[in-house]
Structure formats: C-alpha cells, structure tokens
A and B are shown apart, each in its own frame.
Chain A
Amino acid sequence: MRAYFDHNATTPPAPDVIEAVVGALRDDFGNPSSVHHFGQRAKALLDDARTAAAELIGAEPGDIVFTSGGTEADNMALRGAAEAAEAAGSRRHVIASAIEHEAVLNTVKALVRRGWTSTLLPVDASGIVAPGALAAAMTPQTAIVSVMHANNEIGTIQPIADLAAIAHEHGALFHTDAVQSVAKVPVDVRALGVDLLSLSAHKFNGPKGAGALWIRRGARIVSTMTGGKHERNRRGGTENVPGIAGLGVAARLARAKLPAESTRIAALRDRLEQGVLARVTGTAVNGDLAARVPNTTNISFDGIEAESLLIALDLEGFAVSTGSACSSGTLEPSHVLRAMGLPTHRTQNSIRFSLGLGNTDQQVDALLERLPAVVSKLRTLVRR
C-alpha cells in the first residue's frame, strides 16, 4: 500500500480534470486568439474556466489572469505592482512576511537588487503575523505588502483582512499568496479585502502549469510578460488551454466539495495528529492549532533528522515531506520554523503531513501503526 500525505506539494488530478485536459488537447487544439471555429472553441474553454476560477474566490471573471502557476502569479503581482509604483511616484518599499514561499521571498530580493528597500515581518511562536507589526513597518514609501493567506509548511492562516486594511490606510497595494488556502478554506477576495491574489491549480486536484492572479479592478500593475494582447494585455503568450481547462474543472469540483470535504479532512488530520502525539514520544506540533488549513500538520520528532524519517517512511509506502518540497536536499533549517523562534534542532526534525481527497481512515491507521517502530529504529541507529 502507498499512501500520499503530501498534498501541499501537489495533488493527484481528479478524473474529471484529466478528462478535461485530455479533451482540450485532443478536441480543442485551436488558438483562443483565432477568429475561426477552432479558436472559438478554445476560447470558450478559457471563458468557462475563468468563470469557475472567479466563482471559487468570489471574484469577477474579467479580473482573473491565467498564469503558469503560483510562482508566476506571485512574480506578476510583485514585479507588476513595483513597476507601476516606479512609474507613478517615488514609493520603493516592499513588505512581506518572513514565512512567505520562496516565490515571494526571492522576488522581494529581486526588487531590492533594483533599488527597493524591504521589510520582512516577524511571526509569533505560532506562526502568525501580528497586525501591529505591519502597522509599525508601514512607511510613506511602502508601495506593496505581500502576506500569504495560508503557510505551506505549517498551514497557519494569517489575518489577511486586518493586514490588508492597514496596508490600504497607508496607500499601499496588498497581495496575498493564497496557493495553500484556495479550495481548503473559503476564500473570498472581497472579504479578504486584498488587491492581488495568487492561486495554483495543482494544489487542488488540477494540473500543474496552470494558475491565476486575481487583480482587483483598478489596482495598477504593469504587465511583466510582454507579448500579444492575451489576457486583456496583462499576460502575453498563447494560453495553456488544456491546463486552464483542467484548472476550471478543478475549481468547480473544489467549490462543490469544499464544506463537506474540509470537515472530513480536518477530522482525518486531527486523528493523525493526535495519534502521532499519543504513540510517539518526543513529538510536538508546530504552528497555531486553530488558525490553520484543515489538511496540514507539522510535527517535530526529537532526536531525529527529518531527512532520514522521510526516506524511511517512503520505503514503508508513506509519502510525507520535510518543510516545503522546494527545500529537499538541503540541510537548511526551515525558514518558517526559524522565524517562529523554534530552537535549531526543532527546525531540522519536523515532518509535514498534508492530506487531501484520496486519503482514508485506513491510510491514517496504517501510518499510525508503522510510525512508532520507524521512529524508534531511527532513534536507535542513527547518530546525529
């Protein structure tokens, strides 16, 4: 048996999604910009997907720009807003939280390289950004604030509405990377009060290579992917029609399943978490227990290198992750856990279990049955 507990890295595409992707490849190969029948059919797929994506986040279809994924959406948001700010005036300060995904952190660094200043907001011990910290960091120079909705490693949900209000008081744009929250919790762009929001299809049973940036009407960002007049001049390049069609189907499925599925997943996650804490000594959960997405738990195992536990579990048939998939192969302690002020050993011995559609009670039972022996073997045999 193999069980997949790494849904924050990616998710298996739903059967209907696969059908939609294959169907688009096979039957609707036209260029959506073409005038003829073939183009119209492809364009119809885009329109339909745009509507589905908009419905999932409480938005208007016309404000959705399709991208190649979350990273491109984050880049488009930050670089596009920065270019607009540079054209409009003298604001050159960007604020982000210290626990952002690399897509945001490294884009902030890129802005700093071209003359911007930046501030990384601290988080508290449970991984939450305090609105007061943002208020203190705002300056008249601040053009952009970017704080993720849910964190990929620990799943904590940030008080986005409060943070966005503070940014707006100071005349700054607010972006949120909602890649890890969309389809896990209700996401409504108006309730959040943000200007820009990134999402990614493959995190909710859609295909890889498709994502979107929602841009509030009136928010000024400059297109950074220059080319043809695609996506209303906001992103050049022929659209990835199969991927976007899959995104649309995944968005509809997610919206239909969200309330019931998130309750089921939360119960499963809680059982997994409680089971690990009860059966394995020297374990502790990282991050806020209440303000978090229902599918994620991040657990530290004393006296263990996370890397070894991950491999041992994989050999037992359980796919988990250390921190984020992007940091595999490095010994860098998790920047998220470090920002929470955890001691070094706990930033290097944590495992992320992230659940999703396919997970069952039986899989959680199997994991809980094998895990104690795997952990004790590692604790006995591997000297740190």
Chain B
Amino acid sequence: MRIVVAMSGGVDSSVAAGLLAREGHEVIGLSMQLYDQQQGEVTFGSCCTIDDLHDARRAAGTIGIPHYIVNFEHKFEERVVSDFVREYAAGRTPIPCVHCNGDLKFASLVERAQAFGAEAVATGHYAQVDVDERTRRYRLKRGADPQKDQSYFLFTLSQAQLARARFPVGALSKPAVREEARRMGLTVAEKHDSQEICFVAAGEHPEFVGRRAAMPPGAIRDREGRVLGRHEGVHRFTIGQRKGLGLSTGVPLYVVDIDAASADVTVGPRDALERDTLTASRVNWISGETPPAPVRAHARIRYRHTEAPATIVPLPDDRAQVAFDSPQSAITPGQAVVFFDGDEVLGGGWID
C-alpha cells in the first residue's frame, strides 16, 4: 500500500515511517513547512524548524524512502496561528496542536496524499485506531504508553479521517520507539521530545500575540470588583495562573475569570477555581453520531489532567454539557474537553 507519513523530524514519526517501510509498504515521507524559515522570527521552536526538516530528510534517507517538503505556510497561518491569536485576544487559552492535526495533517495532507496515489496518512502520534466489530465504525483509542498518550489531541477526527489514519507507534512505549530508532540507525533516536507550541517559545506567547493583536490594558480585580492592580492585556493570563500577577497579598491568589470585553482579570483564592460543570462547543463524536441520551464517561479538561468521571449531556448545535461527579479545578475556556470510555475516545469539544 502506498502510505504518506507526516514526518516532523522527531523520533516518533521517523520510526513510524521505518515501521511501515519494514512492513513492505511503499512509504512516502512528507514534511510540512509551516512558517517562513528565512524570516528568523521562529528560531527556537520544537517542531518543524529548518533543523527538523533536515532531520526528517536524513531519517527518510536512512530508511530509504522518498521525502518531500510541502509548503503549508499559508494554511498554517490561516488555520492555526490566527486562531491562536484570536483565542488569546478573546481571553481564552488555545491548543493550536489540535487544529494542526485536524486541519493540516488530517485534511490538507490527506488531500495531497490522495493526489499522490496514497491510501493512508500515518503520523507519529501515540494513539490507536481499530474497528468496532459490532458497529463497523472506527474507534480512536489511547496510545499504549500512558505517559505519552496523545489521543487527546485527535478528538476532532472524523470517521473518514480515521479510515485513512495510521499510528504505527501507537502500540509502543516511548522507550521501545527509541530502541527501534537505534535499531534502524536513525540519528534522531536520542532527540528530545518536542514541547509546548512549535511556533512560539515557551512563555513568549504574550509577545507573539501582542505583535499581532492590539491588546488593551486592564484591571486585576478581586471577586467583589475591587481593583488590586493593572495588567497589559488579557492574553497574558490563563485560568488558574498564580505567577506573574504582580500582586502582593497575604493569601495566594489565582486567576479565576478573564473578560476580554472589559479587559478585567478576576483573581480569587484557590477554591474559587473549582467548578463541577462546563459546556463545550463544536463537539465531535468519534462514532459520527451524537448519542441520543446522556453518556457516562471520564472527561479530561486539559492535556495533563487526570480525567474525572462525568455525565455528558448532548445539547443542540453540536454542543454538550459536562457535569462532573466532583468539582474540577481551573476549567479553562479554549482548552478541549475530551471524553474517554476506558481506552476509547468517545469524542470531545471546545470549552466555552
């Protein structure tokens, strides 16, 4: 089978390509160039920089497969970067990786793959896909390595996308992937994992957003509305944040609410972060069908959150209410809530 592998230059997608080639597939490596490498604004990133493109090419050469760079600068800007800026400007905390997966890897890249005669697109995600024998539908499942499971970032995939998706390292642990990489002679075997957001250095997103959107200053208030301090834009804050508030108070204070319209950032004690319900929009159900009745599941409200038991109530217009059995801390608008049933991803949506 001719399969396109999205190669980021990291160890996971390199091994994914190597495993498929070893199985005898005709593998084509594609790397996405996502921003203008010559502009120099992005010199730090952790994925898809010019060094990573070189790493991907070297890995493809070692495996012995053709490798091409496809230029998705415009689409990345349009779908991922501008959404990222818009969300922060609206006082929310975005996860651009989900858009990059859904709108680039499993949309634009799939189109290219089809045009190149490929039947499937593989990535280095730690996730698994199988078919439910009873319903004949594709199921999205966690990666076998609980430390690395990335199924959370894939909740937007449709049945059609899952039908063409391959996650060759999903059944492996990270150490096993590195061992495979060494066995394949890949130079990226010991390369560090990518972290954070590829187009913005850790902690520098306020400057990035500030360059692209006019962010008015505002007030930091307590829950009674009293002004405790000033700030230089709501994009500098996220729910649950404690550091960088510039306040000197006896008790530790946390960001509990962000209102972009008034530019108010509200702070409160830790227990004020707790909520037991949320609503989500643009909910995707992996099965392709919205459940007719409320569903019991474990819901995760950010990538590094231990999912908690909840009841998911489908609402009209692809929305849902999530009622947790016990309150959760720092439910953050803009992040994704993803519903799990054991190892299976049932679906997910964007926290309002």
Instruction: Point out residues on A near B: beta carbons under 8 Å.
Output: 307-308, 311-312, 314-315, 328-331, 377-378, 381-383
Q: Which residue from B33, B53, B69, B111 sits with its C-beta under 8 Å from A381? A: B111
Given A307-B70, A331-B73, residue A378 in contact with residue B115 (CB < 8 A): yes
Q: Which residue from B33, B108, B112, B117 sits with its C-beta under 8 Å from A329? A: B33
A312 and B73 form a contact (CB under 8 A): no
Q: Is B66 an interface residue (CB 8 A)?
A: yes
CB-based closest 10 A-B pairs: A381-B115, A331-B71, A329-B69, A311-B68, A378-B115, A381-B114, A382-B111, A382-B115, A381-B111, A377-B115
B74 and A331 form a contact (CB under 8 A): yes
B71 and A382 form a contact (CB under 8 A): no
Q: How far is the CA of A381 from the CA of B108 in the complex (A)?
A: 10
Q: Which residue from A311, A314, A377, A381 sits with its C-beta under 8 Å from B70? A: A311
**Residue with the greatest number of chain A CB neighbours at <10 A, chosen from B33, B53, B70, B116:** B116
Sampled A-B contacts (5; CB under 8 Å): A311-B68, A312-B115, A312-B117, A328-B69, A330-B36
A329 and B71 form a contact (CB under 8 A): yes
Q: Is B28 an interface residue (CB 8 A)?
A: yes
> Which residues 65-89 of B have a CB within 8 angstroms of A?
66, 68-71, 73-74
Give the shortest distance, in Å, between B158 (CB) and chain A (any CB): 16
Question: CB-CB < 8 A to B70: which residues of A?
Answer: 307-308, 311
Instruction: Point out residues on B near A: beta carbons under 8 Å.
Output: 28, 33, 36, 38, 53, 66, 68-71, 73-74, 108, 111-112, 114-117
Given A329-B33, A381-B111, A382-B111, residue A311 in contact with residue B116 (CB < 8 A): yes
B111 and A307 form a contact (CB under 8 A): no
Q: Which residue from A307, A315, A330 sits with its C-beta under 8 Å from B28? A: A315
Q: How far is the CA of A331 from the CA of B115 in the complex (A)?
A: 19
Question: CB-CB < 8 A to B36: which residues of A?
Answer: 330
Q: How far is the CA of A311 from the CA of B30 in the complex (A)?
A: 10
B112 and A308 form a contact (CB under 8 A): yes
Question: CB-CB < 8 A to A312: which residues of B?
Answer: 115-117
Question: CB-CB < 8 A to B33: which residues of A?
Answer: 329
Extra A-B contacts (7), CB below 8 Å, given A311-B116, A315-B28, A328-B69: A308-B115, A308-B116, A329-B33, A329-B69, A330-B71, A378-B115, A383-B108
Give the shortest distance, in Å, between A251 (CB) and chain B (any CB): 33
B71 and A383 form a contact (CB under 8 A): no
B71 and A307 form a contact (CB under 8 A): yes
Give the shortest distance, in Å, between B293 (CB) and chain A (any CB): 37
Give the shortest distance, in Å, between B68 (CB) and chain A (any CB): 5
Q: How far is the CA of A311 from the CA of B71 in the complex (A)?
A: 12
Give the shortest distance, in Å, between B17 (CB) and chain A (any CB): 16
Give the shortest distance, in Å, between B10 (CB) and chain A (any CB): 19
Question: CB-CB < 8 A to A378: which residues of B?
Answer: 115
Q: How far is the CA of A328 from the CA of B33 in the complex (A)?
A: 11
B111 and A383 form a contact (CB under 8 A): yes
Given A308-B112, A329-B33, A382-B111, residue A315 in contact with residue B117 (CB < 8 A): yes
Q: How far is the CA of A336 from the CA of B117 in the complex (A)?
A: 32
Closest to A311 in B: B68
Q: Which residue from B53, B73, B111, B116 sits with its C-beta under 8 Å from A315? A: B116
Give the shortest distance, in Å, between A74 (CB) and chain B (any CB): 21
Q: How far is the CA of A168 from the CA of B350 in the complex (A)?
A: 70
Closest to B53 in A: A329
Closest to A314 in B: B66
Closest to A381 in B: B115
Q: How far is the CA of A328 from the CA of B116 in the complex (A)?
A: 18
Give the shortest distance, in Å, between B9 (CB) and chain A (any CB): 14
Closest to A315 in B: B116
Give the shortest distance, in Å, between B75 (CB) and chain A (any CB): 10
Question: CB-CB < 8 A to B117: which residues of A?
Answer: 312, 315
Closest to B30 in A: A311
Closest to A309 in B: B115
Q: How far is the CA of A312 from the CA of B115 in the complex (A)?
A: 7
Q: How far is the CA of A307 from the CA of B116 in the complex (A)?
A: 12
Question: CB-CB < 8 A to B73: which residues of A?
Answer: 331
Question: CB-CB < 8 A to A315: which residues of B?
Answer: 28, 66, 116-117
Question: CB-CB < 8 A to A330: which residues of B?
Answer: 36, 38, 71
Closest to B33 in A: A329
Q: How far is the CA of A314 from the CA of B65 in the complex (A)?
A: 13
Question: CB-CB < 8 A to B112: which residues of A?
Answer: 308, 311, 381-382
**Residue with the greatest number of chain A CB neighbours at <10 A, chosen from B68, B69, B70, B114:** B68
Give the shortest distance, in Å, between B102 (CB) and chain A (any CB): 15
Question: CB-CB < 8 A to B28: which residues of A?
Answer: 315
